[in-house]
């Protein structure tokens, strides 16, 4: 007979006791390099616009000042956000946390995962990092995406999860 007993709130496991795995140390640098490329491209566009349109310095000074402030924030932000991301592999699921102001903790049970893939951009490959994407039923974009993993770790996790989901299919 089916039973579904209640669990007291104080007995629920918390995420504070988990041993979170950090993302690859190169991930912060990779984010900064990507942002520097974008900032330089915008700077070139603003500079070319200033000289081709022969705009007064005052008109272009404001966008350049805003760009400098934004660039500073964008270059400092990875040092703030990346340490607050992490993952934990447990027996029956994978848990991922992220967020500085709006924090998020996502747990995906292995028996719900249908597909796992790793990917990397040319910039990721330069820094030897990769992204792990987990897909569950009905999702098209991936239900969990963990950026900034070491290339080898991402592949090990992919293989481990594939083994887990293969064994859960065999046990049903």
What is the mean pLDDT for each group of 10 consecutive residues in the chain (172 residues)? 83 80 96 94 81 71 84 94 95 93 92 92 96 84 88 96 75 50
Q: How would you classify the pairing of strands 104-109 and 129-136?
A: unpaired
Specify the pLDDT at position 10.
81
> What is the per-residue pLDDT for 172?
47
C-alpha to C-alpha distance for 152 and 134, rounded to whole angstroms? 17
Beta carbons of 131 and 118 less than 8 angstroms apart: yes
Strand order in the sheet with 129-136: 113-119, 129-136, 144-150
């Amino acid at each position: 007979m089916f039973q579904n007993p209640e669990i007291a709130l104080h007995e629920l496991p918390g995420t504070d006791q988990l041993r979170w795995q950090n993302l690859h140390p190169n991930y912060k640098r990779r984010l900064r390099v990507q942002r520097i490329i974008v900032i330089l491209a915008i700077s070139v566009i603003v500079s070319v616009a200033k000289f081709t349109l022969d705009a007064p310095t005052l008109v272009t000074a404001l966008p350049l000042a805003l760009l400098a402030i934004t660039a500073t924030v964008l270059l400092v932000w990875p040092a703030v956000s990346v340490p607050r991301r992490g993952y934990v592999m447990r027996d029956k699921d994978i848990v991922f946390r992220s967020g500085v102001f709006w924090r998020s903790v996502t747990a995906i049970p292995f028996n719900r995962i249908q597909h796992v893939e790793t990917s990397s951009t040319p910039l990721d490959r330069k820094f030897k990092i990769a992204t792990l994407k987990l897909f569950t039923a009905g999702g098209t974009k991936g239900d969990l995406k963990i950026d900034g993993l070491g290339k080898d770790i991402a592949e090990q996790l992919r293989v481990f999860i594939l083994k887990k989901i293969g064994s859960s299919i065999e046990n049903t």
